[in-house]
Structure 1
Amino acid sequence: MQPTLEQGQVKKGHPKGLYLLFMTEMWERFSYYGMRALLILYLTNATTSHLGGRGWTDGNAGMLYGWFTGLVYLTPIIGGWLADNYIGQRKAITIGGILMMLGQFSLFSEISDMTFYLGLGLLIIGNGFFKANISTIVGKLYDEGDARRDSAFTIFYMGINTGAFIAPLVCGYLGATYGYRYGFLAAGIGMLLGQVMFNTLAQTYLGNIGKFVGKTAEEKAAPKTKLTKQETDRVAVILVLTVFVIFFWAGFEQAGSSLSLYTERYIDRVVFGWEIPTSWFQSVNPLFIVALAPIISTLWINLAAKGKNPNTTIKMALGMMLLGLGFFLMVGAVMERGGDSQDVAIKANIWWLVGAYFLHTLGELCLSPVGLSMVTKLAPVAYASMLMGVWMLSSFVANIMGGYIVQYVEQLGALTIFGGIGAFVIVLGFVLLAVSKKLTYMMHGRG
């Protein structure tokens, strides 16, 4: 069984395997976010455009975008279960990577509607094998009670966002210059590079972690009985927090849909006489992540060493409030234009958008990597990957909700929707603070 660190003991540095997982995740996120930055623009672009497009309405495009980005967070439950019980995390990551690479190449082929939907389907299935399992391996690098775990997931999150930063710049440039299909091609090549790296170096830097089902010492020691009261409480905490973060992600994921369309039409994107491509704004959030993650990671470690590290629920409540404040800045952008005018000649200042992304990023850093770490700490060993998939259910529901929100932006106006989202998630943040002590108690020393 994994050793438990003494109270207050904090190790320094991180295992080398963390940085291999960082790079693997970086290329996978390059693939996903490169494609995602182009998807809604591709769907709404005219079919006669030299760049390619499907000529869909905002509402229909938002719905497809929402269902696609939602389903990529549903399938990790299945992929996590298969990894826990049959194939192990390492094989699951390889299977998922290959399927996602083929999905991007299918989108690039642009042969027919069938290859378009086939590409989306392969990306959804492949992500199911990949996403929960690589996060689970990160958690397995650390002993129970290791205070570096939150920091490790913040560093891992830098890998996610390094790829997410580069992807819209590269894929967005290719898509806006040569055609959207070439952006999809670049995304597929990125996925290929990540898989070559992972399968070449995994044995050296990970050993047998995640390679076999039930082969680690902790897995062998885990009793084959029903869950204890403490384990049941911890699972309940995962489920409760999953419900809360649904609303965080429903707002946050507007970045790729309603915020992207608002940026395209109503934000002044001209800087020094040059108009910034809309897809490039998908790099603003990950750029802030890469810049701020080391600071936040160091902050958690320093606070832990002093015995002042906020518990998981407090960090997540703060994250929700920061998201709400970001949407209030977008309300400022709408009001600068005089309200919900559809006159595209009236533009809002770009700094409203940049400020919103900055606050959203701080909120994400307080919530998402901490949430991933929380699942690896609370989940019973035998259900680790499956419960990571359950955690990602929040994003499944949230993205589908987000697709409907795009339709309501058309009907109710950006002022109402942006303001409503902001107020609602801030209220939920205060509710989470109110139940923080109870949830922390139910974590039984792992909060």
Structure 2
Amino acid sequence: MTTANTALQQDTKHPPGLYLLFFTELWERFSFYGMRALLTLYLTTALISGGLGYNEATALSIYGLYTGATYFTPMAGGYLSDRFLGRRLAITIGGISMALGNFALFAVHSRTGLYLGLALLIFGNGFFKPNISTLVGELYGKNDPRRDAAFTIFYMGINLGGFLAPLVCGFLAEEAFRTTVDGVVRYGFRYGFLAAAIGMVIGQILFNTLGNRYLGDIGKKTAATASGPDAAKSREPLTRGERQRTAVIIIITCFVVFFWAGFEQAGSSLTLYTEKFVDRDLFGWTVPTSWFQSVNPLLIILLAPAVSVLWLKLARSPRGDLKVPTKMALGMILLGLGYMVLLVAVSQSGGDEANITHKVNMLFIVFTYLLHTLGELALSPVGLSLVSKIAPLKLASLLMGVWFASTGVANILGGQLAAFTQSLGYFEVFLVIGVMAIALGFVLLALSPKLVRMMESE
């Protein structure tokens, strides 16, 4: 092999630390999505049947507050990591807390156990989520051409965990441990939560036993105690260009709040709609409702390589690749189009549980998730890559936390929107979400040239 070919191979080969972080995040997402797939069903199922017996509006609000808080606390976790803990220690603290949270849901079947488990999960996610994504960025130089591809690979790890979790945890909860006593069906939700806890433990064992070997000293020191030219720069005041790039992150974060508010209906209003209004019969077997939560991550795994190739081909074309704000605007428009498909389904089935004309084909839900997945691929991985690339070093984890906070605010908003389906109806709520997503997508598209100039300022 020639020297030139060897250099090319080194330029395209990813460091082994990426794959360690891939599997660590995979198991964390297995834990998160396993619990997420079951939470609404667990809250709304009667106490005698293994649930907690909340009414649907209350359950949807709890779901929104929980998922919102898990994405909001990374701001605090990112700040503490930047200043005091270092990223590696923060990931360990977060992972252990999340494992304990899922175990509490398994061990204590009561509303007290629910609040204890959710509190531990929220606390742990605040430390885990912003730091592992930032570590991926630290594996690469600022202008390393492998960065976007690395985040696409990392994102596939996220979604592989998200694909497996509803299948495993949903099967345990709805099938494997389902029993019937005196004519009453009882579900094994607690065993689904136990599987989520075990997944989190596996991820932490991998991270802490292999971290020194594959990550070296990356993430061990805080920005304040690190050494070298980059660290010295991190202690200086922000330059004008750094302030503008920080502003871009904040502006884009505000836009994507509404994307995630619509996208995260998957675990709340879309779950309930699927449960009641969708024909889930498949050759005489009823598909568990929770299994539909695996459609999106499966599509991510299948489509992410194709989308990466598309971006690469565009980059090599005479006009060049689409700018990040433009990609994100297209993502929001695709989300809105997914809700247009849902409106067709609701108009056929009726949005009133007491007056269901007929249950709609499950392909409506699958096609909705397809459009949402394409929107996610256009928005989320490039957003992670952008934040890791343009955020000032001294604010890296904090701004990654701000990015995730958009999902936090969105989940709280999304929970309130989902609750309105019980009073206003599914058609009205899905219409508002779809129209707003498309409208904001076009606004972001118009602002894209200005945001790009701010991103590229020195």
TM norm structure 2:
0.92
Q: Quick check: 1:210 aligned with 2:222?
A: no
1:7-45 per-residue CA deviation (whole Å, 9 max, x = no partner) reads xxx942322211111110000000010011000000000
Shift in alpha-carbon separation, 1:112–1:266, aligned structure 2, 3 A: closer
Q: Quick check: 1:186 aligned with 2:195?
A: yes
Shift in alpha-carbon separation, 1:345–1:167, aligned structure 2, 3 A: farther
Is residue 101–residue 119 contact of structure 2 (8 Å, CA) maintained in 1? Answer: yes
Is residue 40–residue 65 contact of structure 1 (8 Å, CA) maintained in 2? Answer: yes
1:69-100 per-residue CA deviation (whole Å, 9 max, x = no partner) reads 00001111111111111111111111100000
Is residue 18–residue 150 contact of structure 2 (8 Å, CA) maintained in 1? Answer: yes
Provide the rounded CA distance (Å) in 1 between the counterparts of 2:342 and 2:229. Answer: 48
Q: Quick check: 1:389 aligned with 2:401?
A: yes
Q: Quick check: 1:154 aligned with 2:165?
A: no
Structure 2 counterparts to residues 99-178 of structure 1, below 5 A: 99-177=97-175, 178=177
1:148-194 per-residue CA deviation (whole Å, 9 max, x = no partner) reads 22221111110000000000000001111311000000000000000
Q: Quick check: 1:275 aligned with 2:273?
A: no
Structure 2 counterparts to residues 53-72 of structure 1, below 5 A: 53-72=51-70
Is residue 77–residue 128 contact of structure 1 (8 Å, CA) maintained in 2? Answer: yes
Show the counterpart of 1:377.
Answer: 389
Q: Quick check: 1:330 aligned with 2:342?
A: yes
Q: Which amino acid aligns with 1:407?
A: A
Is residue 335–residue 372 contact of structure 2 (8 Å, CA) maintained in 1? Answer: yes
Deviation, 1:216, is 5.6
Shift in alpha-carbon separation, 1:181–1:300, aligned structure 2, 3 A: same
Provide the rounded CA distance (Å) in 2 between the counterparts of 1:263 and 1:218. Answer: 54
Show the counterpart of 2:299.
Answer: 288
Provide the rounded CA distance (Å) in 1 between the counterparts of 2:371 and 2:227. Answer: 40
Q: Quick check: 1:252 aligned with 2:250?
A: no
Show the counterpart of 2:72.
Answer: 74
13-22 vs 245-254, which deviates more?
Answer: 13-22
Provide the rounded CA distance (Å) in 2 between the counterparts of 1:287 and 1:342. Answer: 33
Show the counterpart of 1:297.
Answer: 308
Q: Which amino acid aligns with 2:32?
A: Y
1:269-293 per-residue CA deviation (whole Å, 9 max, x = no partner) reads 0011110000000000000011111
Deviation, 1:219, is 3.6
CA RMSD of aligned residues (A): 1.6
Provide the rounded CA distance (Å) in 2 between the counterparts of 1:397 and 1:38. Answer: 21
Provide the rounded CA distance (Å) in 2 between the counterparts of 1:365 and 1:286. Answer: 11
Show the counterpart of 2:22.
Answer: 22
Task: State how many pairs are aligned.
Answer: 435
Deviation, 1:240, is 0.4
Is residue 171–residue 184 contact of structure 1 (8 Å, CA) maintained in 2? Answer: yes
- Which of the numbers 186, 198, 221 marks the counterpart of 2:207? 198
Secondary structure of the structure 1 residue equivalent to 2:13: coil
Shift in alpha-carbon separation, 1:304–1:203, aligned structure 2, 3 A: farther
Show the counterpart of 2:332.
Answer: 320
Provide the rounded CA distance (Å) in 2 between the counterparts of 1:113 and 1:276. Answer: 28
Shift in alpha-carbon separation, 1:24–1:216, aligned structure 2, 3 A: farther
Deviation, 1:294, is 1.5
Secondary structure of the structure 1 residue equivalent to 2:456: coil
Q: Which amino acid aligns with 2:44?
A: T
Secondary structure of the structure 2 residue equivalent to 1:225: coil
Is residue 76–residue 131 contact of structure 1 (8 Å, CA) maintained in 2? Answer: yes
Deviation, 1:341, is 5.6
Q: Which amino acid aligns with 1:287?
A: L
Is residue 337–residue 371 contact of structure 2 (8 Å, CA) maintained in 1? Answer: yes
Provide the rounded CA distance (Å) in 2 between the counterparts of 1:300 and 1:141. Answer: 22
- Which of the numbers 416, 425, 432 marks the counterpart of 1:413? 425
Is residue 218–residue 381 contact of structure 1 (8 Å, CA) maintained in 2? Answer: no
Secondary structure of the structure 2 residue equivalent to 1:412: coil
Q: Which amino acid aligns with 1:187?
A: A
Shift in alpha-carbon separation, 1:263–1:356, aligned structure 2, 3 A: same
Show the counterpart of 2:373.
Answer: 361
Shift in alpha-carbon separation, 1:424–1:80, aligned structure 2, 3 A: same
1:104-154 per-residue CA deviation (whole Å, 9 max, x = no partner) reads 110000254322211110000000010000000011111112232222111
Q: Which amino acid aligns with 2:45?
A: N
Is residue 324–residue 424 contact of structure 1 (8 Å, CA) maintained in 2? Answer: yes
Provide the rounded CA distance (Å) in 2 between the counterparts of 1:11 and 1:437. Answer: 31
Is residue 147–residue 304 contact of structure 1 (8 Å, CA) maintained in 2? Answer: no
Shift in alpha-carbon separation, 1:413–1:55, aligned structure 2, 3 A: same
Q: Quick check: 1:43 aligned with 2:54?
A: no
Identity %: 57
Is residue 147–residue 301 contact of structure 1 (8 Å, CA) maintained in 2? Answer: no
Shift in alpha-carbon separation, 1:116–1:223, aligned structure 2, 3 A: closer
Provide the rounded CA distance (Å) in 1 between the counterparts of 2:227 and 2:367. Answer: 46
Shift in alpha-carbon separation, 1:280–1:216, aligned structure 2, 3 A: farther
Is residue 334–residue 340 contact of structure 1 (8 Å, CA) maintained in 2? Answer: no
Provide the rounded CA distance (Å) in 2 between the counterparts of 1:255 and 1:151. Answer: 27
Deviation, 1:305, is 4.2
- Which of the numbers 419, 429, 433 marks the counterpart of 2:445? 433
- Which of the numbers 205, 222, 226 marks the counterpart of 2:233? 222
Shift in alpha-carbon separation, 1:341–1:44, aligned structure 2, 3 A: closer
Is residue 170–residue 192 contact of structure 2 (8 Å, CA) maintained in 1? Answer: yes
Q: Which amino acid aligns with 1:44?
A: T
Deviation, 1:300, is 2.4
